[in-house]
Chain A
Amino acid sequence: MSDLPFGPPVRVSPLIRFGRWSFLTAGVLYGAFHQSRLSKKEAKFREIEAKEKVVRDAKIKAEKEMAAAAELKSLEEMVNTPKK
């Protein structure tokens, strides 16, 4: 191993290497599991949101129409009030 500039490689203790690899695989599994769990949760939430959006849009539309009608009415009253 004369082509290695930093001397022969360190013999890392098998326990440390075992710990690294087992923690790495544990992390991969943990991340994948939580990713799927959280995306399922979020998908459910989005479904509910989509249902509520229809109701909310209808409510906002009705409110807007009512407000427009009231405005028109008040305008008419202003125009049609007899001058003293």
Chain B
Amino acid sequence: MAVAKIPSLINSALAQARPKFYIFMKYARVELAPPKLSEIPQIKAGLGKLITSAKTGAWKQQTVKQATLNTLVGAEVLFWFYVGECIGKRHIVGYNV
């Protein structure tokens, strides 16, 4: 009885998830897209801004809210490294030697 229901459960779950997945993909195509070659000047400008703010100490003149947001964004960007490491070593926890 319970086993016979499983395929229909999976089908309905897929039918429920499909439109949401399409919406996710539409956002992800824009928000998670890799940077284009035409955006290199903007990236350079951003890096320059980061460096000048580090040099001049402008990063100390932020509100707590801004600083918190920047820290969170920085952490998120950093965590992509660990996602990449897990993909590279093809194991979730530790190195499988």
Contacts and interface: CB of A to CB of B under 8 A. Distances in A.
Contacts of A9: 26-27, 30-31
A38 B90 CA distance: 13
Question: Main SS of the interface on chain A?
Answer: helix
Interface of A: 1, 3-6, 9-21, 23-35, 38-39, 41-42
Question: Main SS of the interface on chain B?
Answer: helix
B40 to A, nearest CB: 8
Nearest to B39: A14
B43 A31 contact: no
Contacts of A17: 32-35
Contacts, number: 105
The 7 closest A-B pairs by CB, nearest first: A27-B84, A31-B88, A15-B46, A31-B85, A31-B89, A9-B30, A32-B88
B95 A25 contact: no
Contact of A14 (B27, B32, B43): B43
A56 to B, nearest CB: 23
Interface string B61-75: 000000000000100
Nearest to B22: A3
16 contacts: A1-B26, A5-B23, A6-B27, A11-B30, A14-B39, A17-B33, A20-B76, A21-B34, A21-B80, A23-B77, A23-B78, A24-B83, A27-B86, A28-B84, A28-B88, A35-B91
Contact of A23 (B32, B80, B90): B80
B30 to A, nearest CB: 4
Contacts of A32: 88-89
Nearest to B44: A15
